[in-house]
Structure 1
């Protein structure tokens, strides 16, 4: 290497290496030794060409140089992304970041195609490509800003889906890109996308991250604008936040209460909330936020620890994980023969608490046989020691509800069967977790597995037979907006039965909860389920309401849009009479 070339490297902080077809990102690097330089001499600071995606994983580009021919590089991007070679895909994603930073006007002409191609790579099986695609989306949001509004819905759906994966660095990259999205696109589009794709998701982590990013989006909009929309949009927003505030994940509950506290500053909030949630939920949430704030006393489930192998195979050593922190002290090491059992001398309350902690551990076990055993143990506790179950109903169902959505069909079916047996035993104690239970049960009504479907239907029927039908009517009415397929048909049919049984005693509840469901169906140009089955259940609901309400149904329908009124009379065969 000539001295002139070395001097050029030292002055410009560049290596003599260049890649003509790729935009270069530079990073300082110290060299240890170079030809004539000894180890005792200090070397000049030179640069290194970086072609890895790690430099922009948080949505930032340290330094980018413009391309000589950006149009050609844009074409290369599509060629490389269609390649099967992962290194070509990584190079294409890096070039997209450089185009966004230096040639945004060129990228804007093909922004839809580029966004779609990058979004596809988010689900790439190679984690390096997937993370690079996620980071590239963050760069696009940061540089293109509101030009990305049209892509928000699909990108949000894909990124939130990645949140459900256990890979931590993928979660971190997706969370960062969503954070950039919320900060740069139109806030209303971000709120709508997060509510649609995340807050109703079955995966608890997806709901948690959706709530986390929904909070800053709502803060950008403000309570006044959020509560100035249509009645339907306000009701949907309030219902979503109430559900998040009652979620089975502690962080999700925190974000839900935080967002509700933002809306509570507006004078119209109480009126909106009154028509969106049951009175018991309204009172509970409002009092909790006013008295305790949005923070929640941590009651995390105990961590799952593997049993340590004893040093002596004939003895078992019990460490200081006994309830000594509850006021009782035992020795730091107690050696017990495995075949003998120490008689318990703990007070009854502490012993019951210990049983619940063991139950939480078993419900989270990795082996499906252990989870099935835990579900049966929960039923046994409901029969033998119902008081601690009722007193800790939220914590118990935080651990139990995931089993109603377990990936293993045997566990899921057994959990649903046990739930049907628990409902008559617990009855009104289930009110704080009723919405969680109804959501899990109704989701399983779409199962193709005959045993799971039958168990879910049994759980729904037991709920109607033993729980407060007013609260159940409200929960089922809310679920209609998020169901499809067989679940939507079954829930709508049961709503018709609840209308008939409830209206003589609580007509206002029926008008408040069941009528909006009917207007929801009649106002749709395309129903979530095709065919005659959905028409049959909607007709049955309309006829049930008409038989109970009579002329007052006409008065309520008069306030609806003309096409809704026309569809109502058509269903009831009242077009000629009207």
Structure 2
């Protein structure tokens, strides 16, 4: 029911208002954008059934404005998303992945009032959409993020979702999904940020409330993290929880030893807190690296990049074990205000990728975001290095994960970055389809529909048309007539555009 405020007044012609919204949001005038955002709120409150017909396009346009350089527009866009979640509820399920990614990103690079608004909007999202969708989005975009504030925010809302779902359902999935969940909780419980560790311990308590938690933990938790978990958590849990965690950890250790095929039963060391000389040396190396990468002097930061590259060559295990924390700082150098540092970091990344390979997968989403952001740089050296980093990623990283990360970036990109990323998505289609055809249909097809169905985009421009045509033909080569069948399930506008291209 509409209230008495102007914001809640219905439109006399809501269909026309919906068309106007998309036009205003695509304008370069910030006041027109603000007008469009204001109208979206009115449509959501008073004409939700009309808004539903173009909800994806509207949500995408509003999400794009979250990154608007004018803070007033950005703040208004965030509160508009909050209203969309509040009124459209589970109809927003399909928009959760991209919105969560963008809102979490704002937690790491914005002023305090923007951070507060973004967190509040995520809180409304968690309470409105399907909990499983919210959980997937937060895990994909937040818990492995390079920025500690982003991880903290994601962990806070993830705890709420896990409490909603309950331990029984959380631990009733496949072995792979259970393993991913438990490993994620262990990582959060060990995070460098105190609040994130606290949320991680609370998540662990949620899982431990299940009577068969010990069995799940034995099957899922990584044995190499056992000592760290015990050292950091056993003083944080109490009573029966401590006994249960200790017992589960011990049984996991024994289970891992037996499964490895060893005839000798090795008990866990009792001196968990005893630090070896090797650990002291590694700690000192990391401290020096962190200080150099975070230094105020740009030349010192460049020394930090050189030192990181040297560690990747000579101590890859050290980097792999601390990949998230190290790349927290290194990714900042990929956005460094000083162009020399920015370019050197990108060039170093090109060399790191073939050295680290799969060790980069936990930070792949952030890596892709940092590299693609640099594709719009006007600095020729930075742009060239970003292109090489993207090509190195395709050559040495998991192409399925890379396709997913690049496809999710497309709606939020513009300019040269949009062209380059779309072209690389086309390249990935063939290699990924051979191994996982369903991944191509899940990630690459929506990119094509995005271009063919979004009337706001300048699809008729020659540069856009070239990359979209290449993408469509790459998909047609591997899918054949199934591509046309899939297009028939889209709008007539999409189907017609695809026929014209093919």
TM-score bracket relative to the smaller structure: 0.5 to 0.7
Tell me: CA distance 1:550–1:156, structure 2 relative to 1, closer, same or farther (3 Å). Answer: closer
Tell me which of 142, 148, 151 is aligned to 1:250. 148
Kept after mapping to 1: 8 A contact 2:407/2:444: yes
Tell me which of 365, 381, 387 is aligned to 1:457. 387
Structure richer in helix, relative to its length = 2
Tell me: CA distance 1:178–1:471, structure 2 relative to 1, closer, same or farther (3 Å). Answer: closer
Equivalence for 2:323: 393
Kept after mapping to 2: 8 A contact 1:428/1:468: yes
Equivalence for 2:376: 446
Higher-Rg structure is 1
1:242 to partner: Cα distance: 2.8
Tell me: CA distance 1:391–1:528, structure 2 relative to 1, closer, same or farther (3 Å). Answer: farther
Tell me which of 358, 374, 377 is aligned to 1:428. 358
Tell me which of 326, 333, 336 is aligned to 1:406. 336
| Structure 2, unpaired ranges of 5+ | 10-44, 47-61, 195-272
- SS of equivalent residue, structure 2 residue 449: helix
1:509 to partner: Cα distance: 1.4
Higher relative contact order (CA 8 A, sep 6+): 2
Q: Distance in 2 between matches of 1:526 and 1:363?
A: 41
Equivalence for 2:497: 567
- SS of equivalent residue, structure 1 residue 504: helix
Deviations 1:44-73 (A, max 9, x none): xxxxxxxxxxxxxxxxxxxxxxxxxxxxxx
- SS of equivalent residue, structure 2 residue 434: coil
Are 2:153 and 1:259 equivalent residues in the alignment? no
TM-score by length of 1: 0.53
Q: Distance in 1 between matches of 2:126 and 2:134?
A: 17
Aligned length: 361
Tell me: CA distance 1:397–1:294, structure 2 relative to 1, closer, same or farther (3 Å). Answer: closer
Kept after mapping to 2: 8 A contact 1:211/1:255: no
Kept after mapping to 2: 8 A contact 1:417/1:455: yes
- SS of equivalent residue, structure 2 residue 103: coil
Within 5 Å, which residues of 2 pair with 1:189-268? 195=99, 199=103, 201=105, 204-206=108-110, 212-220=116-124, 223=127, 225-227=128-130, 239=137, 242-264=140-162, 265=164
1:411 to partner: Cα distance: 0.2
Tell me: CA distance 1:158–1:487, structure 2 relative to 1, closer, same or farther (3 Å). Answer: closer
Kept after mapping to 2: 8 A contact 1:492/1:537: yes
1:482 to partner: Cα distance: 1.1
Q: Distance in 1 between matches of 2:111 and 2:487?
A: 36
Equivalence for 2:293: 363
Equivalence for 1:480: 410
TM-score by length of 2: 0.61
Equivalence for 1:510: 440
Equivalence for 1:297: 191
Tell me: CA distance 1:214–1:107, structure 2 relative to 1, closer, same or farther (3 Å). Answer: closer
Equivalence for 2:53: none
Are 2:451 and 1:521 equivalent residues in the alignment? yes
Kept after mapping to 1: 8 A contact 2:152/2:193: no
Are 2:311 and 1:381 equivalent residues in the alignment? yes
Deviations 1:22-52 (A, max 9, x none): xxxxxxxxxxxxxxxxxxxxxxxxxxxxxxx
Within 5 Å, which residues of 2 pair with 1:138-217? 161=71, 188=86, 195=99, 199=103, 201=105, 204-206=108-110, 212-217=116-121
Kept after mapping to 2: 8 A contact 1:441/1:456: yes
Q: Distance in 2 between matches of 1:479 and 1:154?
A: 11
1:252 to partner: Cα distance: 1.7
Kept after mapping to 2: 8 A contact 1:199/1:240: no
Tell me: CA distance 1:293–1:258, structure 2 relative to 1, closer, same or farther (3 Å). Answer: farther
Tell me: CA distance 1:107–1:186, structure 2 relative to 1, closer, same or farther (3 Å). Answer: closer
Tell me which of 444, 460, 478 is aligned to 1:548. 478
Kept after mapping to 2: 8 A contact 1:522/1:568: yes
1:529 to partner: Cα distance: 7.0
- SS of equivalent residue, structure 2 residue 490: coil
Are 2:182 and 1:287 equivalent residues in the alignment? yes
Q: Distance in 2 between matches of 1:207 and 1:510?
A: 38
RMSD after superposition: 4.5
Tell me: CA distance 1:358–1:216, structure 2 relative to 1, closer, same or farther (3 Å). Answer: same
Q: Distance in 1 between matches of 2:460 and 2:106?
A: 24
Within 5 Å, which residues of 2 pair with 1:319-330? none
Q: Distance in 1 between matches of 2:388 and 2:7?
A: 55
Equivalence for 2:397: 467
Deviations 1:76-110 (A, max 9, x none): xxxxxxxxxxxxxxxxxxxxxxxxxxxx999999x
